[in-house]
Amino acid sequence: MNIIQRPSTHFDERSDGSKPSFIIIHYTDTKTLEEAEDYFLGRRLQASGGRVSAHYMIDFDGTVVQYVDEEKRAWHAGASHWAGMSDLNHHSIGIELVNPGRTYGYRPFPAAQMEALMKLVRDIMTRRSISPFRVLAHSDIAPARKQDPGELFDWKAMANAGLAVWPDPQDEDRRIARDYLRDKNALREAFLKVGYDPKADLESIVTAFQRHFYPEAFRHPEKAGQPTEAMAARLHWLVRNRPNL
């Protein structure tokens, strides 16, 4: 695929010779690619003074730009955790999707953008033998801090293309789901088995899970963060089917 190269100096080495084995999907929370790129190329600093980058960014029209070599550690995930691993920057490839986000008017991701993303993710997964279970949202690995790419991102389409996972609960999952709702400790333990951060509060984890695996919760935003049986059934499907990460 055609990828524009605009090298950033915002990277360092991966620790202990680690190789990327996760793909993390973000949104930029900016109006344009150029605005996000200003941060990646050092033309603008974050309010905190920190520097950020990602390996790739995809514009609304499907244009793909690479900023950091995949072998290097880009600065996209921040404080993060998944399946016992912290600092996912060391273990992942970060892909930013241009989207106004909550700051400027969150909206669905255009077809051209999604098509380019799927092509890029498929290429990376094939070259690096990355499991669909390791294609995650920024909100999955930082549930108390991040919301992206959010409930309007089409994870089901990604899963249908073999590029992510989408739960398909069975009777067993629905039965266990009722147990989860009766026992908050069991519910929390299920989230931890899937990979979520044990230090995060339960409401943040539930909301992050809903953004990824149960976006129906956001039809009534005031109810987001509240566990339901349907959500818990999808959670148990993931517990049952999750490979040893």
Token readout for 223 is: 């109810």
Please give the backbone phi and psi of residue 146, each rounded to the nearest 5 degrees, phi first. -125, 155
Output the furthest CA–CA distance in the chain (Å, rounded): 54
Token readout for 158 is: 């990604």
Q: Which string of DSSP letters, residue by residue, matches 19-82?
A: ---EEEEEE--SSSHHHHHHHHTTSS--TTS-----SEEE-TT--EEE-S-TTSEES-S-S-EE
Token readout for 96 is: 């930013």
Q: How far apart are CA 56 and CA 94, in angstroms?
A: 7
The set of catalytic residues is: 96
